[in-house]
Amino acid sequence: MRVLFAGTPDVAVPSLRAVLGSRHEVIAVLTRPDAPAGRGRKLTPSPVAEVAAEAGVEVLKPLKPRDPEFLERLGELAPDCAPIVAYGGLIPKSALDVPKHGWVNLHFSLLPAWRGAAPVQHAVLAGDDITGACTFQLEEGLDTGPVYGLVTEEVRPTDTSGDLLHRLSLSGADLLVRTLDGIDDGSLQPQPQPADGVSLAPKLTVEDARVDWTTPAMRVDRVVRGCTPAPGAWTTFRGERLKLRPVQLERGRDGLAPGEVVVEKSGVRVGTGSHAVVLGEVQPQGKKAMPAADWARGVRPEPGERLGA
């Protein structure tokens, strides 16, 4: 098939490379406009745009997919199908109707679970044991279209959302190509999503990533892992923000108040609503990430001092 690929961040790159290497012809790529990046805030193409340019494929960067210029070009291209992975914008019906086989979205959950912008983060936050990725027919509703296929993935006890999303981006890329193959040869028909089991996964805010030390240690662990790398888990110490990397659960040792910091040879322990956790790396405001022990040697927490106080 002649396909238009839509996607923007790094997580979409494996899918683009897989489609480029398939029997289908990528006639154009739709991605978000260049955005400021780095210390100099220089306008930089998206990861998908860079790969497309390297492959010599036309790159379309409308401010919105409903822009008349984009819709006109889409009509001229007349793709047979439009695979889409983490594009970052709503596709209007005027664009959905153009490809003969529609738009096929690779979504990183087992629909109807975790419909929305942050399915992987919410799977980690919820403590799911199994998640996955699926391909479905894009329609105007939020991730409501019929499903073509899926792959499952175990959520490991130490997975951050970044770890899990990386694995899903690879297995999902293979699923996407197999879905396009099935659509092309007529062997694959999408099936309606179940009515039961619907859950929503809205984009996480910075406030969502703030650690509440009065919650149980398991919850603290999930919030930190679920918000790594983005939006980035954090707390405060002496009035300044302190970013947190994954922590270690420490069962059987209690006695610390929520947020209370104790520095020991074995590590920097912090109390929660249940038992203590051991800090991993932390990042003080305006500084680079460092082991918690190095941070503690610099700030020298006083007896009874707490994070988040």
* pLDDT tens-digit series, residues 231-245: 999 999 999 999 999
Task: Give the pLDDT mean for 254-268.
Answer: 92
Task: Give the pLDDT mean for 63-73.
Answer: 97
Gap between the Cα atoms of 18 and 190, Å rounded: 21
Place 164 in a pLDDT band, splitting at 50, 70 and 90.
very high
pLDDT of residue 40 exceeding 90, the answer is: no
Mean pLDDT of the chain: 96
Report DSSP letters for the chain, one per residue: -EEEEEE-SGGGHHHHHHHHTSSSEEEEEE-PPPEEETTTTEEE--HHHHHHHHTT--EE--SSTT-HHHHHHHHHH--SBEEEES--SPPPHHHHTSSTT-EEEEESS-TTTTBSS-HHHHHHHTT-SEEEEEEEE--SSSS-SPEEEEEEEE--TT--HHHHHHHHHHHHHHHHHHHHHHHHHT----BPPPSS---B-PPPPTGGGB--TTS-HHHHHHHHHHTTTTT--EEEETTEEEEE---EE-TT---PPTTBEEEETTEEEE--SSS-EE--EEEETTS--EEHHHHHHHH-PPTT-BTT-
Gap between the Cα atoms of 29 and 53, Å rounded: 9
The residue written with tokens 């396009």 in the block is 180
Identify the bridge partners of residue 26 per DSSP, sorted by sequence position. Answer: 3
Of the candidates 134, 94, 93, the residue with the CA atom closest to the CA atom of residue 115 = 134
Task: Give the pLDDT mean for 105-133.
Answer: 98
Residue percentage of the chain with pLDDT more than 70? 99
Q: Which amino acid is at 288?
A: K
Task: Give the pLDDT mean for 131-135.
Answer: 98
Residue, of 42 and 187, whose pLDDT is higher: 187
Of the candidates 263, 256, 266, the residue with the CA atom closest to the CA atom of residue 297 = 263
pLDDT of residue 37 exceeding 80, the answer is: yes
Question: Residue 253: its pLDDT value, please?
Answer: 66
Distance of CA 257 to the CA centre of its chain: 33
Question: Residue 26: its pLDDT value, please?
Answer: 98
pLDDT of residue 295 exceeding 80, the answer is: yes
Q: Tell me the HSE value of 138 on the side-chain side, using a 13 A CA sphere.
A: 28
pLDDT of residue 39 exceeding 80, the answer is: no
Q: Do 115 and 201 contact (CB within 8 A), yes or no? A: yes
Q: Which amino acid is at 223?
A: V
Place 165 in a pLDDT band, splitting at 50, 70 and 90.
very high
pLDDT of residue 193 exceeding 70, the answer is: yes
Coil vs helix vs strand at 103: strand
Task: Give the pLDDT mean for 257-282.
Answer: 95
Write down the pTM of the prediction: 0.94
Question: Residue 309: its pLDDT value, please?
Answer: 85
Residue percentage of the chain with pLDDT more than 90? 95
